[in-house]
Structure 1
Amino acid sequence: MRIAIGVGPEVVGAPAQPGEIVEQVRKAEADGFASAWSVHFSRGVDALSVLAVAGAGTSRIALGAGVVPTYPRHPLALAQQAATVQQFCGGRFTLGVGVSHRPVIEGLHGLAFTSPAEHMREYLSVLRPLLRTGEVSYRGRFYRVEGGFTVPGTTPMPVLVGALGPRMVRVAGEYADGVVTWLAGPRTLGDEIVPALLKASSAAPRIVAGLPVAVCDDAETGRAAAEQVFARYGGLENYQRLFAREGVSSPGELAVTGTETQVAQQIKRYAELGVTELWATVYPVGDAPAASIARTRALLAELSG
């Protein structure tokens, strides 16, 4: 299982300038991480633009965006942008797409959050051919696209779907290269997502699991810190359903936290469940946040190496 480090602090509620995120990618490569992933929030920095710059300034580290909301971006426009990012990254880019959440799509963008699984199926039916060949001919309920674009020097890229429920996992298995999850714990991944994805996929799928990670001397303290940092996710319907399936009541209970030995054991468990890449979102614990983050990164870099 590959260890990825999250870049960009928006997920922990501390926005950064785009150039600072680029520097985080460069540091991740220097520290030996195999890959770095950036979230893409509708109210924040455009992850694809940042990763294009980061890709041009690095040479080895794999880069991913997870996930770009589909409803606000026409699949041809996203494919054109992603193909351009891939050229800057030298073939190291993975695109994650997802339907986001009803309050974001309807409240912020003013768009109808209609038939998300069917919408994603059509979206991928347009997006994937464009990323492979630059051309598509498709007529469906949501999209009618005829034509394409040319980005010299680009190459096809993996596409992953942000999926937590069974219908979206099935779409990911049939139309994409795998899934990227956030806050899906061992029960949801091991009992539901991984088996369903393997059943729906014709090839070995990628399973990228995003989770909060913090190394500290006391796991309960680590979970309490996660409750504060990631509290916003407790109010979203998609994650409330996920917590119910997982048998927990809040995001802090899904944090990977504890001593170095305990965190390493938890990460090993995800590998045993079939996760192919663990996307670690490092968060601080205690009164010395910089030292806390450095301690966690040190363990993750060691495990990545």
Structure 2
Amino acid sequence: MTAYSVLMPFLPRRPEQLLPYAALVEWTGADRLWQGQAMLVEPFQGFASTAGAGFRVPTGLGVTLMPLRHPYEAAHQVRSLALATGESVIAGFGPGGRSFQQSLLGTPYASPLTAAREYLTIVRGLLSGKTVDIQGEYFSCHAEMGPAISPRIDLGLGVLRPGMARLAGEVADAAITWLTPASYLCDTVLPAMKAGSETAGRTVPRLSAIVPVALDRPDREPSDMVIASNSRHMQAPHYIDMLKKAGIDISGDELPVAAKRMIEGGAFVHGDIDRIVEQLAAYREAGVDEIILNVTGVFNVYGAKAAMDDLKSILAAVAS
């Protein structure tokens, strides 16, 4: 059965800003509260603070960026979050863009796939209580973590294209996608994940899709919400390449034209509530295990109340 979860639609500046969304998860059928990498309130600390305020909900990190922390520190943060909340955690990791890698590391990963494989292998070994003895090309670890019984922790990889999808099939518990149309997940991502799982002789990971969505309401301009939600992604080469593979060619387009193409191609879910439910059903039918509702575009253009209203309406509709 496909779960529906909620993505924080903005970067919190104070931990209490997470509370309405944690409450939404606790009081509705939403499965989990997600947040991407934030450079204001660090997601691990924000979620722990939310738990301290009384809202202990399952959490997801989609995704935190590998150059920011050694895998030992990542394992420590993830386990600390699970212990602090008393709830399960899906901890997604990704290499980030090449310019980000260059800024922090001095040079980008020559092979992001190798870096991600080493990173998840070390984190998994540490969380399992094993002594990790790995001398990798990008990450090394010769250590162990003290034993502790914690709620369930699943390790995820941010997935955009077939190479990372195959790697997720080999080493991850979850593949976490962003801006990927349902048809692309069905035709490209899931087959690659299955191929990776077959190679490794393991179960296919769960697929968690972060889906940008907005209800059609009077006086709303859909293209504005697409751009407000994803303008940086729409100009990034790896996203342009993925969208082209998905049949949405936005290369060379001005942002308003590209935004319309993304709506038409299903990369951004928009319409009345019946149309929204229909499009989200396409993700379920494509094999997605968890649909993470992303109303960042609504929040950025029309504010917090509008974003929360959309989330409540959509969650109520999919529940019925």
Q: Does the TM-score normalized on the shorter chain lie above 0.5? A: yes
Look up the match of 2:234: 234
**Which of the numbers 244, 269, 273 marks the counterpart of 1:260?**
273
Residue 87 in structure 1 maps to residue 83 in structure 2: yes
Q: Superposition pairs for residues 1-305 of structure 1, below 5 Å?
A: 1-10=2-11, 15-41=12-38, 43-57=39-53, 61-107=57-103, 110-133=106-129, 135-150=131-146, 152-201=148-197, 202-217=202-217, 221-248=221-248, 249=250, 250=258, 252-253=262-263, 254-282=267-295, 283-284=297-298, 289=303, 292-302=306-316, 303-304=318-319
In 1, Cα distance between the equivalents of 2:300 and 2:34?
25
In 1, Cα distance between the equivalents of 2:169 and 2:215?
33
- Once the two structures are superposed, residues 112-155 of structure 1 have per-residue CA deviations (whole angstroms, 9 ceiling, x without a partner) of 33210011111111111111225312222223321212263424
User: Higher mean Cα deviation, 91-100 or 58-67?
Assistant: 58-67
The structure-2 alpha-carbon separation of the partners of 1:46 and 1:247, relative to structure 1 and needing over 3 Å to count, comes to same
The structure-2 alpha-carbon separation of the partners of 1:24 and 1:105, relative to structure 1 and needing over 3 Å to count, comes to same
Contact 2:166 2:194 (8 Å CA) reproduced = no
Question: Match of 1:9, SS?
Answer: coil
- Once the two structures are superposed, residues 62-116 of structure 1 have per-residue CA deviations (whole angstroms, 9 ceiling, x without a partner) of 2101101112311111101111111112141110000111122213564433210
Paired residues in the alignment total 300
In 1, Cα distance between the equivalents of 2:88 and 2:102?
33
The structure-2 alpha-carbon separation of the partners of 1:300 and 1:57, relative to structure 1 and needing over 3 Å to count, comes to farther
The structure-2 alpha-carbon separation of the partners of 1:287 and 1:92, relative to structure 1 and needing over 3 Å to count, comes to closer
In 1, Cα distance between the equivalents of 2:84 and 2:176?
23
User: Higher mean Cα deviation, 279-288 or 197-206?
Assistant: 279-288
Gaps of 5+ in 1: none
User: Higher mean Cα deviation, 237-246 or 129-138?
Assistant: 129-138
| Cα deviation, residue 261, structure 1 | 0.2
Contact 1:8 1:39 (8 Å CA) reproduced = no
The structure-2 alpha-carbon separation of the partners of 1:137 and 1:107, relative to structure 1 and needing over 3 Å to count, comes to closer
In 1, Cα distance between the equivalents of 2:119 and 2:134?
10
In 1, Cα distance between the equivalents of 2:3 and 2:187?
21
Contact 1:169 1:193 (8 Å CA) reproduced = yes
| Cα deviation, residue 28, structure 1 | 2.8
The structure-2 alpha-carbon separation of the partners of 1:143 and 1:293, relative to structure 1 and needing over 3 Å to count, comes to closer
Contact 1:36 1:64 (8 Å CA) reproduced = yes
In 2, Cα distance between the equivalents of 1:59 and 1:72?
27
